[in-house]
Structure 1
Amino acid sequence: MTPHPPQEPAARPAAVSRQEFDALFERLRTWGRWTPADRGAWNRVTPEHVRRAAALVRTGTTVPLGLPWNTRPAPDNARPALHHMTDLGDVEPPEPATYKDFLGADYHGKGVTHLDALAHVAYRGRLYDGRAAGELTGAGGARFGAVAALGPLVTRGVLLDLPAVLGVDWLEPGHAVRAADVRAAERALGVEVEEGSAVLLRTGRFRRRAELGPWDVDRASAGFHLDALPLLAERGISLLGADGDSDVRPSPVEGVHSPVHALAVAALGVPLLDNLELEALSAACAQAGRHAFLLVVSPLAVPGGTGSPVVPVAVL
């Protein structure tokens, strides 16, 4: 694939002052709401939510939402994942021969599909629930908000397929998805974000990448403007994900490089799914004529881990 020529940074989305951002953070935070606190908004998903989500399965079509394990460096994969063989089947009695391999990844980037746990993001030194990040996170990992505390999530997923709504192949880098866009997508797609829903935003990132080549998504990417977060908070979502990392870039908040991360994870206790492969899900939802489905997310149970590589599965 020929790399796409370096592009100029996209025009900055509607600016929000740091003072306005801090006021929004304080207004949205749900600290002290749940026990256990380090499951955050996943506490919203009750057995009844799971039962209703399971009732969405009609055809049994399963769609994996993870990228292939990404070992190739690129402008959007600065820290490639690792894969190498550790046993090539040298036969030693007794049989059988075995073949073994090693996997490793610095997965909090743009090249690996992963889940951000509540230990991943602190704002002004505080993790979700007001816990002091410096006291609870160190070289040995996190003692609050670790991914092992989350466990699996089975809930109703909602695909906000913005390119399909707008009649385009993809959203250009820097395109900010606002609260009004979320409402318009719900109307156009015949779906509603409900309490406990996992909201997945398709921007068309990987279709654009396939056709134009990779680019530095840290500099410019489509995603949510932070003014969409009050609406999503009001609806009571349990999880937020995207084919990017949910944040529009450049950031609209000076001095805050990932304001959606800060609001979702540190204020609302909503874990994030980053770098989802949503092209097949877009096609499956269009064919089925519906954009709600059963979603299964099962991260690795890593004690002290700030997240996990993951391959979520949608079932229609």
Structure 2
Amino acid sequence: MSPTSGPAVSRAEFDVLFGAVRTWGDWERADRGAWNRVTADQVRRALAEARSGTVVPMALPWNTRPDPDNPKPALHHMTDLGDVESPEPAAHKDFIAVDYHGRGVTHLDALSHIAYRGRLYDGRTAREVVDAGGARFGAVSELGPLVTRGVLLDLPAVLEVPWLEPGEAVHARDVLAAERALGVTIGEGDAVLLRTGHVRRRTERGPWDSGALSAGFHVDAVPLLAERGVALLGGDGDSDVRPSPVADVHSPVHVLAVTAMGVPLLDNLDLEALSAATAAVGRYAFLLVVAPLNIPGGTGSPVTPVAVL
């Protein structure tokens, strides 16, 4: 593990890396990106990982409290308290709303969410396909339910620490070491979930501005993930180490995954229960199910991902 988010990567070096992992033009259904890798055979392979029937949800609670890492809290209030004497039954109704692309809500990033140098995945010009009405390419509604084999890279378990400190970078060598230690191998069409211990640290130490300082992948880990053919990437942060090692690019892993590779991202997972469950059975692969809301034109969706061991 690196004690810092480095080494630094220049913008020119980053652009070379972007070109090396880019999959533009690889699939007829470009709006699904790397999710095209998940065939019926891949789903059947994933189903075989569900052995004990243990179900582990991975969503954070709906967060209506303002904090350093949640400057735009979700909304939740009652709209009907059932104050009607007749006819029966009384109904209780509530309203929810959220600006979910942040660090307070578990969500899925669709391919329309991230542009680099003005272009979305597959080279679409962002201004031409995303406007006030939503996205006409790469919308979350094009992904549908996501069912595949999940792999947990539990770095604190490997290193025998409670968590990675904010700013610690996970490199390609760390991914390989985690595979060996956990007895799991990332394969074609898999979803890779990185546990840094973010949720445990936040619980024990309190919230901080994780947009400025967080553990996560260094960009040098991305070519390995691209070589393995991952279809989905996620973590208990938002996958990026911060401060960013790339000059003038705040979220370089987002750029490489979503914009270059067409890989959707799962942000802000709670992986603590999954860490305990996988350790208990000694298996770090599982069936993963993610069902985003069907939002035409949406750049993503709040989600409750579920692992089945």
TM-score by length of 1: 0.96
Q: How many residues align?
A: 307
Distance 1:12 1:176 in 2: 5
AA aligned to 2:263 is V
Q: Paired residue for 2:54?
A: 61
Q: Paired residue for 1:86?
A: 79
Could you say what secondary structure the match of 2:112 adopts? helix
AA aligned to 2:173 is A
Q: 2:113 aligns with which of 120, 125, 134?
A: 120
Q: 1:149 aligns with which of 139, 142, 151?
A: 142
AA aligned to 1:34 is W
Q: Does 1:35 align with 2:8?
A: no
Q: 1:208 aligns with which of 187, 201, 210?
A: 201
The 3 A distance-change label for structure 1 pair 206 and 47 is: same
Residues 5, 241 of structure 2: 8 Å contact kept: no
Could you say what secondary structure the match of 1:135 adopts? helix
Residues 4, 169 of structure 2: 8 Å contact kept: no
Q: Does 1:158 align with 2:151?
A: yes
AA aligned to 1:147 is V
Q: Does 1:239 align with 2:214?
A: no
Q: Does 1:131 align with 2:124?
A: yes
Q: Paired residue for 2:297?
A: 304
Shift of 1:93: 3.3
Could you say what secondary structure the match of 1:119 adopts? coil
Q: 2:173 aligns with which of 177, 180, 183?
A: 180
Q: Does 1:110 align with 2:103?
A: yes
Deviation readout 1:93-121 (Å, 9 max, x if unpaired): 32111000001000000000000000000
Shift of 1:92: 5.0
Q: 2:274 aligns with which of 274, 281, 284?
A: 281
Could you say what secondary structure the match of 2:152 adopts? strand
Q: Does 1:197 align with 2:193?
A: no
AA aligned to 1:80 is P
Q: Paired residue for 2:93?
A: 100
Gaps of 5+ in 2: none
Cα RMSD, aligned residues only: 0.9
Could you say what secondary structure the match of 1:296 adopts? strand
Distance 1:254 1:56 in 2: 41
Distance 1:12 1:156 in 2: 29
Shift of 1:57: 1.0
Distance 2:26 2:169 in 1: 30
Query: Once the two structures are aligned, what percentage of the paired residues are identical?
Result: 74
Residues 5, 169 of structure 2: 8 Å contact kept: no
Report runs of 4+ in structure 1 exceeding 6 Å deviation: none
Distance 2:250 2:5 in 1: 12
Q: Does 1:256 align with 2:252?
A: no
Shift of 1:35: 2.1
TM-score by length of 2: 0.98
